[in-house]
Structure 1
Amino acid sequence: MFFLLGGNSEKKARKAEKKQRRKSGELTERAREIFMAGRFPVVTTHEVEGRRIAKVLGLVCCRGFDSEETFFGMACRAMNKGAQAIVGYNENVAFHPDGSKYFSCYGTAVMFEYDPNERDALPLMLQHRFRSMQDDGQGDEDVF
């Protein structure tokens, strides 16, 4: 009878956790697609050749047992901050006695100065919004 009144909090918590994991996986997959398309540079140097850094958004990092999931998790966190690239990228691997590896990836999320001649010059968050405004006929190309 208790569960009929909404008192089964364990089940609700498990359901919310499962939903969050699924959403996180979708975001990581999106970050993977953007990185593989060459639209999100990750470099070990402290600058990207040909681009000037306008704003430093801060440190982004991710840790885990899978190297790809860790790397793209870090990229996803940077994109969620509005970053256009990661500079100063570094990674560490810790080897455990049981044979498993633990990966740590970190870098600095940055935004570039706006260049109207470059197609992907806007942050990823604004590109979608700007393109939808153009499709509706509301956007003015001279605004950005």
Structure 2
Amino acid sequence: MLFLLGGNEKKSRKAENGRTENMEVVKDLFLTGRFPVVTTESMEGRVLGKVLGLVVCRGYDSDEAFFGMAARAVNKGAQAIIGYKENVAFHPDGSKYFCCYGTAVQFEKPKKALTI
């Protein structure tokens, strides 16, 4: 019974630790097109330089789950998320639980053309 009463404290501590800090910055990056999130495994015209790993975020709000995932990728140093997927669980009480995940990546720097 104690774990049921103490569950909210753990959730609030998670938010205080800043796991999804920079949420407003990440929203701005995504909405202005500077942080792409794509469902494909690559991006046309860009060469993958480094795979930083899987990023996942869950929540009862779709924006919280999506931008939380993006914030975790940005905190790892990612320039984009590829292979984006999401799941939604529908509960009998009418609530929804969202899970967003993808692969955080960095791109290779474009090579300068040689001029002769």
Pair in the same fold by TM > 0.5: yes
* One-letter amino acid of the counterpart of residue 29, structure 1: E
Are residue 58 (structure 1) and residue 56 (structure 2) matched? no
Structure 1: runs of 5 or more not aligned: 1-12, 118-144
RMSD value over aligned CA atoms? 2.4
Residue of structure 1 in register with 2:87 after alignment: 92
Whole-angstrom distance in 2 between the partners of 1:52 and 1:26: 28
Aligned residue runs from structure 1 range 98-109, under 5 A: 98-109=93-104
Whole-angstrom distance in 2 between the partners of 1:90 and 1:108: 10
**Shift in Å, 1:63:** 0.2
Structure 2: runs of 5 or more not aligned: 1-8
Judge which range, 26-35 or 80-89, deviates more. 26-35
* One-letter amino acid of the counterpart of residue 92, structure 1: N
- Between the two proteins, what is the percent identity of the paired residues? 63
- The SS at the match of 1:79 is helix
> Larger Cα Rg: Structure 1 or Structure 2?
1
Q: Structure 1 residues 103, 40: closer, same or farther in 2, change over 3 A?
A: same
Residue of structure 1 in register with 2:34 after alignment: 39
Q: TM-score, normalised by structure 2?
A: 0.79
- Name whichever structure is richer in helix by fraction: 1
Whole-angstrom distance in 2 between the partners of 1:18 and 1:103: 18
Q: TM-score, normalised by structure 1?
A: 0.64
Whole-angstrom distance in 2 between the partners of 1:19 and 1:67: 17
Larger relative CO (CA 8 A, sep 6+): 1 or 2?
Answer: 2
- The SS at the match of 2:73 is helix
Deviation per residue, 1:26-74 (Å, 9 max, x gap): 5111110110110000000000111000000000010000001110000
- Name whichever structure is richer in strand by fraction: 2
Whole-angstrom distance in 1 between the partners of 2:15 and 2:64: 18
Whole-angstrom distance in 1 between the partners of 2:72 and 2:14: 19
Q: Which of 105, 109, 112 is matched with 2:107 structurally?
A: 112
Count of residues paired in the alignment: 103
Residue of structure 2 in register with 1:20 after alignment: 16
